[in-house]
Amino acid sequence: MKHWLWVLLLVLPCTWGSDPHRVHRQAQPTAPGYFALAFPAPEPGSYRLPPLGEAADGQVLLDTGGRTNLHTLFDDKVVVLSFIYTRCPDPNGCPLASHVLARLERAILQTPGLSSRVQLLSLSFDPINDLPHNMAAYGKRYRSPLGHWQFLTTEDEAALSPILAAYNQWVMRERDSRGRATGALSHLLRVYLIDTRGRIRNIYSTGFLHRDLLLTDIHTLLLEQSQQPDNLQK
């Protein structure tokens, strides 16, 4: 009996440690972005979003495999930029960002004249595993064929690192007790709202990432733009 007890004590930690994503997979989707907004969204234009700095550029790969610069994709539109990785197991992490942007895209498509003024971008911070075809497959799960949502990656870590640093997007590869990479990435969820002049105007974390708040912020920026002289709109 004692022999079997020792066997169980030895095996159980190994079984638990064999799945580094287990805790995240068992997590429940509790973030506000999965539910109705708990308070009335403010009226667009009733508040101001001060500029938080310039949105950085960098070379990225499209999910078709082509190369371009991030700023080229901004295309003088209001941009919503999320940083994700496709294997993220935490429902309150990257899947939340993609869920909220999918809901946002549907709302944009249902609003006349809005889809041509907003660009959604999702950039992977795992270029080792998230190749262009992986991003294309991931994108099919979320985006509408009628929308303007690009799923991006980078050539390698060297191309990615300066982009992450410029956006203050913290990412770290998790390692086990022996120092071996587990495949999981620790990161902060950050989604950026960028105006038509390439300035960051809001940064959303898990607790504030919601379709309704994004939508009212987008309308606020567009109202602000419409009230500016033509020479200041770009």
User: Can you tell me whether residue 78 is helix, strand or coil?
Assistant: strand
Cβ count within 10 A of residue 8: 9
Q: Which residues pair with 202 in a beta bridge?
A: 193
Asked whether residue 94 is marked as a ligand-binding residue, the answer is yes
Rounded to the nearest 5 percent, the helix, strand and coil shares of the chain are 35, 20, 40
Instruction: Name the nearest CA neighbour of 196 among 221, 217, 179.
Output: 221
Asked whether residue 187 is marked as a ligand-binding residue, the answer is yes
Give the number of C-alpha atoms closer than 13 A to the C-alpha of residue 166, restricted to the C-beta side. 14
Q: Which residues pair with 60 in a beta bridge?
A: 68
* Unique residue bearing structure tokens 């001060």: 50
Asked whether residue 88 is marked as a ligand-binding residue, the answer is yes
Residues marked as binding for Cu cation? 88, 94, 187
Residues marked as binding? 88, 94, 187
